[in-house]
Amino acid sequence: MIDMDKDEFINEFAQQWLYRFKNKSDAFRSFEESFGEDCMLLGFEMDCGKAFQKYFNDDHLLYDYELKKLPKVIDKADNLEALKSGVFSQWRYITHWSDYATEEDFKKRIPWIVLVLKQIYKLTKPDNKTD
């Protein structure tokens, strides 16, 4: 049995999805089919991105697909729950709430998702912990 804590599983999740977005031609299909399930299994909260918006005190940052503001603030983000809420809500929007889940819609939002996943990965790295 593998002895990993929850952050290590979340770190592995972030690492795997970052790899998929970078190297897989079927990223849209796998994102649509299994990203949300992975989030649920890891205890990510689906709250329409409210925790993300509250943490950053910015109602529009969740929709910053042109990446005008997010890159300036994401490196300082240290609230893992807010980041998880944001990325899970993006998946939900793309696959359920938008009128259509097209590959183009997905591609438009991937840079946002990648930035947040990179921060989740950074926060959950084993060498980032202080005991």
- Tens of pLDDT, residue by residue over 79-129, are 999 999 999 999 888 887 666 567 777 788 889 999 999 999 999 998 875
Please check whether residue 98 lies inside any domain of the structure: yes
In a domain, 6, yes or no: no
Q: Could you tell me if residue 131 is inside a domain?
A: no
- Whether 76 and 45 have beta carbons less than 8 Å apart is answered as no
Token couple for 116: 């947040």
Q: How many domains does the chain have?
A: 1
> Cα separation of 109 and 12, whole Å?
21
Rg (CA), the chain: 14
**62 within a domain of the structure (yes/no):** yes
- What is the per-residue pLDDT across 29-66, written as a single tens digit (0 to 9) for each? 788 889 999 999 999 999 999 999 999 999 899 989 89
- DSSP H/E element including 16: helix 6-23
d(CA 13, CA 7): 10
Place of tokens 């649920």: 40
The answer as to whether 8 is a domain residue is no
The reply to whether 97 falls in a domain is yes
What range does the domain containing 100 cover?
A: 26-125
Give a yes or no: residue 42 inside a domain. Answer: yes
Q: Is residue 19 part of a domain?
A: no
Name which of 110, 128, 120 is nearest 43 in CA terms. 120
